[in-house]
Amino acid sequence: MANERLRAALLERGVSIAELATAIQVDPKTVERWITKGRAPYRKHRYAVATHLGMDESYLWPEALTREQVASASESEIVTVYPHRWAVPRDAWGRLFAQAQDEIGILVYSALFLADDAGIVRMLGEKAAAGVRVRILLGDPDSPEVAQRGADEGIDDGMAAKIRNVLVLYRPIRGLDGVEIRLHRTVLYNSIYRGDDQMLVNTHVYGVPAGNAPVLHLRKVLGGDMVTTYVESFERVWEQATPVGS
């Protein structure tokens, strides 16, 4: 079967078969066979193609990696684990966003601690001005999901109030080119803070405030799929969320 994922990846990146072949030092006919006949390249070539296209090896050739290889690569994506969000060094949030060159994504209910940091808010605006896409997903304060989360944390209407407060705190960057803010109505199992291929994932634990729950620091590794899983979750929520006006 043809490898339509590889074909689509080349079209998406604007890379021709000849250009890819030159970049990874193989014959163009070899690349054509990878696409038209669905042949899997040697591991070194899969890695080279994935690196050149900036995509996941496991996405381009899902059957080529064994479960053990995917598990090993995914484990390597874990940089560190913090027992609580309050244990994450304050400058870790700033570094995550400061290093981003293409994409910043924030998926939360409120994350008031972040919006209340004027330096972080200013940085998000500066990053957008520099061409980085900044997307922020907040819980819809009028949704039953937010009400339930407030009840679970024992703060009831306090959760919706925090979200409304955050919307006010983000006013300096609302409406800026490159900054998009949407409201979602989903049961949020994790809060996700992304800067390109790195992310801080704040797990949600029933009856425990997010600030007291564990945080995973992840960095994308080719062949791993933990970061990819969270990115896909972010995109699913984004697609069904409602834009906030400036």
Q: What is the 3-state secondary structure (H, E, C) of 98-134?
A: HCCCCEEEEECCCCHHHHCCHHHHHHHHHHHHCCCEE
Structure tokens at 166: 């955050």
Q: Choose between 125 and 153: higher pLDDT.
A: 125
Q: What is the predicted pLDDT for the residue at 107? A: 97
Q: How far apart are the first and last CA of the chain?
A: 48
- In tens, the pLDDT along 135-194 reads 999 999 999 999 999 998 888 899 999 999 999 999 999 989 999 999 999 999 999 999
pTM comes to 0.74
Average pLDDT over residues 7-18: 91
Q: How far apart are CA 85 and CA 99, in angstroms?
A: 20
- 10 Å CB burial of residue 34 (0-12, 13-18, 19+) is buried
Q: What is the predicted pLDDT for the residue at 207? A: 85
| Weakest-pLDDT range from 44-58, 81-95, 155-169, 205-219 | 44-58
Q: What is the predicted pLDDT for the residue at 161? A: 96
Q: What is the predicted pLDDT for the residue at 148? A: 93
| Weakest-pLDDT range from 12-21, 65-74, 115-124, 233-242 | 65-74
Helix and strand counts by DSSP (H, E) for the chain: 12, 8
Asked if residues 194 and 124 have their Cβ atoms less than 8 Å apart, the reply is no
Report the percentage of the chain scoring pLDDT > 70.
94
Tell me the torsion sign for CA atoms 184, 107, 10, 102. Answer: positive
Q: Give the model's confidence band at 80: pLDDT under 50 very low, under 70 low, under 90 confident, else very high.
A: very high
Q: What is the predicted pLDDT for the residue at 42? A: 87
Chain centroid to Cα 4, Å, comes to: 24
Chain centroid to Cα 132, Å, comes to: 14
Q: What is the predicted pLDDT for the residue at 61? A: 82
Calculate the alpha carbon distances from 231 to 66, 81, 225, 228, 238 in Å: 22, 19, 10, 5, 10
Average pLDDT over residues 82-109: 94
Chain centroid to Cα 67, Å, comes to: 23
Asked if residues 179 and 134 have their Cβ atoms less than 8 Å apart, the reply is yes
- In tens, the pLDDT along 218-234 reads 988 766 678 888 999 99
What is the average pLDDT value for the chain, to the nearest integer? 90
Please determine, for residue 121, whether its predicted confidence score (pLDDT) is greater than 90.
Answer: yes
Supply the angle between the helices 43-53 and 17-24 in degrees, to the nearest 10.
Answer: 120
